[in-house]
Structure 1
Amino acid sequence: MKKISILAVSLLLFLSGFTSTNVVHADTVLPFNTTVSGSISEQAPMDAYTVIVPKAGTLTITVKAYFSAALMELRDSNNELVGHYEGVYNGRPENPTTLNKEINVEPGVYTLFIKDANKTSFGNYDVSVSFEPANNIEIEPNQTFTEAMPINVNGERIRGFISWNDTADFYKVELDEPGRLEIDIDSKMMNGIVYLYDSKGEMISWDSLGFYQELPLLWNSHTDLETDTYYISIKGNDYYQGIYEMDVSFIPANNDEIEPNNSRESATPIEVNDNKIHTGFLSYTDKEDYYRIEMKYDGYMTIGFSSEFSGYSLMKERSISYDSHLSSGAIGKPEKSSKRVELKKGTYYFIPYAQVIWQGGVYTMSFKAEPAFKDMAGRYTPAVTYLADKEVAKGISGSEFGVQDNIKRVDAAIWLANIMKLNQSDSRPTPYVDVPERAWGAVNALKRKNIVNGKSSTHFGANDTMTRGEMALLIQRAYELSGNGVKLPFTDVSSRYAEAVKALMKHNITQGKSADKFGTDAAITRGEMALFLYRADSK
């Protein structure tokens, strides 16, 4: 063979796929897909070949020994051993022994040595090398935290490669909002380990990729995380190397909780009966959340809760638990639950918590409460609950609201002042001698707004029953309602009440007792008054 440059020979033979058999000497280039014959003797017990690897990939070395004890080794440009020493034993001139060895390597110049193994065995051999590129797209170097390759979640699939020269790859992920990080790995490594670290380099989790047995290893994980910088590392060792492909995706939590809320002191307040579904999130570093709930009356609370894995506790005092629940859902399949709990008036803490270290995730919750009045069932329930939530009215006892009892004018005045949130600080006696002290602030506030008048200059008629006509006047004035465009069908409505009744009809607050009677002078019950205020205020 003519003496030409090592690189030129290697490149020419690699690109052409040329295959030949040549006798070479120490430090001669060994092109890919070329069989070279050599001889080991007592005078020349070792041959050395230069192998040029253009990119990361798998180098296959084939040695056929025609003598009993040959030894093969591969070293990098720093003379570091790559792979292990490999013996080729029991070869004979008429029956050679063949060794095929695959070694995962990075780009570079390597030296392949063929030696006698025991200083007494000599003879001929054939050697060849072939190469299969890994076609990895990772950006090297990425062997440490500081060198970690930045990647975008929900971005391009990553193809990486673990070799003898590079047993660890690091990737950097920035999360600008809380959510679930999902890692999917399709591996052709014999095995390997995947690690997840936080921004301080502290390990969050690790797992084995499993053992490769000619079928791709499919590995996946999900971890619920807060806003931060994270690192994913794929690691191998002397035995576990090869190609892997990785997808990194992210599902935002879209939670509406106010952080921090990890204690009773920082608990997020939630209003019951706000008709909202609240969304929270638990993560590796945030394993429980606290919410403060005010139960404004003795009654029942219905808790709606949905989660894949999280549970919850409902507590009043640190040592008193009223209810608890453990979810038994699965990824993508949250368990939905609903519980009705009887509670006394007071402050409660609702505490969702993660059952597993890194399996928290999104949870949703809703809270509906109703007083424990046994006489408010049916059509009165929403109205009485509405007034109780706003602390407008109380029951006549702990067990009854008194829906069928007639309401007094003084009580109707108190309810109206409360629901309108009027300033009742003026607790001086009213001009009316029959108004009890408990109602002074309410009556004074309503009188200032020109909503109520007395029966006379000295009497309010505090203990008189409120009539439907008087109720219509109060609500029309309080909410400044207009009845324009409404024609009255009732024969019992005088001019004093006409505009007010029209207004209530127009806004669907109430209708008549019959087709032609409004029942202007009829007494109104506590339940009916609750209904009318509820309809007027909620509109």
Structure 2
Amino acid sequence: MKKASILVLVLSLFLFVFPLPKTVKADTVLPYNTTVTGEITEQSSSQAYTVTAEEAGTFTINFTVYFSSALLELRDSNNELVGEYEWVNGGSVGNPQVLQKEVNIEPGVYTVLVKDNNKISFGKYDLAVAFNPVHNTETEPNQTFTEAMPIQLNGKRIRGFISANDHHDYYKVEVEEAGRLELDIVSQMRSGTVEFYDAKGDMISRDSLDYYEGTPVTWKTHQDFEAGTYYIHVVGYGSNQGIYEMLVSFMPANNAEIEPNNNKFTAMPISIMDPKMYTGFLSYTDRYDYYKIDMKFDGYVTINFSSEFSGYQLTDGISINYASHRGSGSNGHPEASTQRIALPKGVYYFVPFAQVSWQSGVYTMSFKAEVDFKDVTGRYMPAVTFLADKEVANGITKNEFGVYDNMKRVDAAIWLAKILELDPSDSTYTPYLDVPKRAWGAVNALKVANIANGKSTTHFGADDTMTRGEMALLLKRAYGLSAEGVENPFIDVASRYEEAVNALLKNNVTQGKSPTRFGTGEPITRGEMALFLYRVEATR
């Protein structure tokens, strides 16, 4: 009896110092952070425990086995295996084997199964399950295209989660205009894949996330899209699971091209005389843009082009490439290039192109044309080029414009009629006996418009030199220039020319030969005539 009392006392002291773990009955609901002690016997070869997850998160399962071989399974409400089978071998009462397993799961009711090994291994085990919620903000279900979660562009970061029973997250993006979709992901997935799809479900691109090794992985990419519906697919199989945060932003291209312009038959016409910068855009579905250029004279064209990735060709549309360039910029760092080429008169196509399917985006371009006359330089170049493009004036030879040659009245009449786009259809014989046939239409049109008359009723003075004063009169009449509020400082301007000269001064057509001399009676040269017409056209 004494021995029995002593034994009870010792056992009580042991339990006080080393309390037994809290246990629950097997084959029941298993609360979190509570250890269940169960036993596999010949009569009871498996035990099942119900665990409920109210939200997505991670189960941490601690399994201690005191017998030689046990099997652990996690199954969902459809009895589908979640994760992998786990065998725990080599355990004994004196040397238990411990398994700690993390399983990423979606909300739901799960069953933890403990089984023997082919009914030949029996004994006790301890089992506990902890839960860590991930607080993801994605809208479930989003496992298919039809369930895809709509994304607000330039909104908040989305906190997503790939689990053992949800390998796919789909997001839907509506792009209302052409531009760049940028994807910024911070991942705690072991690895994973990100894919872009179009509205038909055809894959656009696929990239792999780097491996997560304790430090979040930052991964960025972009796609250049036309307006439309697109999908982002985040996927992870096997152990490639975990949390990721995703920000989807959009930058419009603000391109001014007129679509479609994907071949020479739909090419957008542009003027190489227009100095403005054109902005275009290429994407994975629109890898070529065509622009039609009408070069109306032999000369030079300077191409200014800037792009992150795109290149270009200048072609006659048949077989000859006159210029080409391959871009070598990078994301966020466009490369600027300038190329000046000789170009004969003709029709050409300027073709920006995406070098590879995933490298495209915004490009800018501008052009500058110049005539190929050896005597045209400096301040005369824009004016002479302008007249050549308007098909108003040619050179006196193939290589010379005749900048310093005096202008004949008949040639001045032809230039003026052309630039004013007067109707030359009345090419009947003029009343002026000295006007050659090539100028009949021009002279008649100027006379009808009350812009120019002859020096007499029968004499136009066709081969006479046009003076600067006479040109001032013609331009004032032709363009309806106002001279109001201007007084010229010139001492060589007679009253007949005064209002016309004042009008040219007011409209910045000329400043005179010197501060006090306009050169009223002096011949106007072909170069000066080009300057006058170039400047006065700006008043239209």
Structure 2 length as normaliser, TM-score?
0.94
CA–CA distance in structure 2, aligned partners of residues 479 and 47 of structure 1: 101
Cα deviation 1:50-88 (Å, max 9, x = unaligned): 111111111111011122212211111222211222112
Match of 1:3 in 2: none
Match of 2:435 in 1: 435
Q: Which moved more, 1:519-528 or 1:56-65?
A: 519-528
Could you tell me which amino acid in structure 2 is paired with residue 350 of structure 1? Answer: F
Q: 1:43 to 1:413 in 2, by over 3 A?
A: same
CA–CA distance in structure 1, aligned partners of residues 31 and 89 of structure 2: 25
- Superposition pairs for residues 416-431 of structure 1, below 5 Å? 416-431=416-431
Match of 1:327 in 2: 327
Could you tell me which amino acid in structure 1 is paired with residue 324 of structure 2? Answer: S
CA–CA distance in structure 2, aligned partners of residues 377 and 73 of structure 1: 87
- Superposition pairs for residues 280-299 of structure 1, below 5 Å? 280-299=280-299
Match of 1:262 in 2: 262
Q: 1:76 to 1:491 in 2, by over 3 A?
A: closer
Cα deviation 1:453-483 (Å, max 9, x = unaligned): 1011011010111111111111111112232
Q: Which moved more, 1:479-488 or 1:169-178?
A: 479-488
Match of 1:8 in 2: none
Match of 1:107 in 2: 107
Match of 1:399 in 2: 399
CA shift at 1:225, angstroms?
A: 0.9
Secondary structure at 1:29 match in 2: coil
- Superposition pairs for residues 443-482 of structure 1, below 5 Å? 443-482=443-482
Match of 2:520 in 1: 520
CA shift at 1:350, angstroms?
A: 0.3
CA shift at 1:310, angstroms?
A: 0.4
Please list every run of 5 or more consecutive structure 2 residues that lacks an aligned counterpart in the other structure. Answer: 1-18
Cα deviation 1:326-370 (Å, max 9, x = unaligned): 111011110001111001011010000000112110000111101
Match of 1:272 in 2: 272
CA shift at 1:384, angstroms?
A: 0.9
Match of 2:351 in 1: 351
Q: Quick check: 1:204 aligned with 2:204?
A: yes
CA–CA distance in structure 2, aligned partners of residues 390 and 215 of structure 1: 65
Match of 1:137 in 2: 137
Secondary structure at 2:339 match in 1: strand
Cα deviation 1:192-229 (Å, max 9, x = unaligned): 11111100001111111122222222222111111110
Secondary structure at 1:82 match in 2: coil
CA–CA distance in structure 2, aligned partners of residues 489 and 226 of structure 1: 60
Match of 1:64 in 2: 64
Match of 1:378 in 2: 378
How many aligned residue pairs are there? 521
Q: 1:68 to 1:515 in 2, by over 3 A?
A: closer
Cα deviation 1:14-44 (Å, max 9, x = unaligned): xxxxx98344444211100011112222222
CA shift at 1:419, angstroms?
A: 1.4
CA–CA distance in structure 1, aligned partners of residues 383 and 20 of structure 2: 96
CA shift at 1:118, angstroms?
A: 4.1
Secondary structure at 1:505 match in 2: helix
| Aligned-residue identity in percent | 64
Match of 2:28 in 1: 28
Contact 1:298 1:344 in 2 (8 A): yes
Could you tell me which amino acid in structure 2 is paired with residue 426 of structure 1? Answer: D
Contact 1:23 1:38 in 2 (8 A): no
Match of 2:38 in 1: 38
Match of 1:95 in 2: 95
Contact 2:301 2:340 in 1 (8 A): yes
Contact 1:104 1:242 in 2 (8 A): yes
Could you tell me which amino acid in structure 2 is paired with residue 422 of structure 1? Answer: L
- Superposition pairs for residues 200-279 of structure 1, below 5 Å? 200-279=200-279
Please list every run of 5 or more consecutive structure 1 residues that lacks an aligned counterpart in the other structure. Answer: 1-18
Secondary structure at 2:85 match in 1: strand
Match of 1:510 in 2: 510
Cα deviation 1:94-132 (Å, max 9, x = unaligned): 221110011111111111112222422222211100000
CA–CA distance in structure 1, aligned partners of residues 490 and 220 of structure 2: 73
CA–CA distance in structure 2, aligned partners of residues 248 and 93 of structure 1: 55
CA shift at 1:243, angstroms?
A: 1.2
- Superposition pairs for residues 76-87 of structure 1, below 5 Å? 76-87=76-87
Cα deviation 1:216-255 (Å, max 9, x = unaligned): 2222211111111001111122322211111111111110
Contact 1:407 1:524 in 2 (8 A): yes
Contact 2:374 2:400 in 1 (8 A): yes
CA–CA distance in structure 1, aligned partners of residues 306 and 105 of structure 2: 50
CA shift at 1:490, angstroms?
A: 3.2
Match of 1:74 in 2: 74
CA–CA distance in structure 1, aligned partners of residues 509 and 43 of structure 2: 114
CA–CA distance in structure 2, aligned partners of residues 116 and 503 of structure 1: 108
Q: 1:446 to 1:87 in 2, by over 3 A?
A: same
Match of 2:7 in 1: none
Q: 1:237 to 1:517 in 2, by over 3 A?
A: closer
RMSD over aligned CA atoms reads 1.5
Could you tell me which amino acid in structure 2 is paired with residue 446 of structure 1? Answer: L
Contact 1:20 1:34 in 2 (8 A): no
Q: Which moved more, 1:441-450 or 1:255-264?
A: 441-450
Contact 1:69 1:118 in 2 (8 A): no
CA–CA distance in structure 1, aligned partners of residues 23 and 436 of structure 2: 121
Could you tell me which amino acid in structure 1 is paired with residue 49 of structure 2? Answer: Y
Secondary structure at 1:442 match in 2: helix
Q: 1:399 to 1:121 in 2, by over 3 A?
A: same
CA–CA distance in structure 2, aligned partners of residues 236 and 99 of structure 1: 24
Contact 2:23 2:34 in 1 (8 A): no
CA shift at 1:177, angstroms?
A: 0.4
Secondary structure at 1:422 match in 2: coil
Could you tell me which amino acid in structure 2 is paired with residue 42 of structure 1? Answer: E
Secondary structure at 1:129 match in 2: strand
Q: 1:230 to 1:376 in 2, by over 3 A?
A: same
CA–CA distance in structure 2, aligned partners of residues 341 and 182 of structure 1: 37
Q: 1:489 to 1:182 in 2, by over 3 A?
A: closer
Q: 1:63 to 1:525 in 2, by over 3 A?
A: same
Q: 1:151 to 1:516 in 2, by over 3 A?
A: closer
Q: 1:136 to 1:399 in 2, by over 3 A?
A: same
Match of 1:122 in 2: 122
Cα deviation 1:280-320 (Å, max 9, x = unaligned): 00100001010000111000000010000000000114210
Q: 1:398 to 1:76 in 2, by over 3 A?
A: same
Structure 1 length as normaliser, TM-score?
0.94
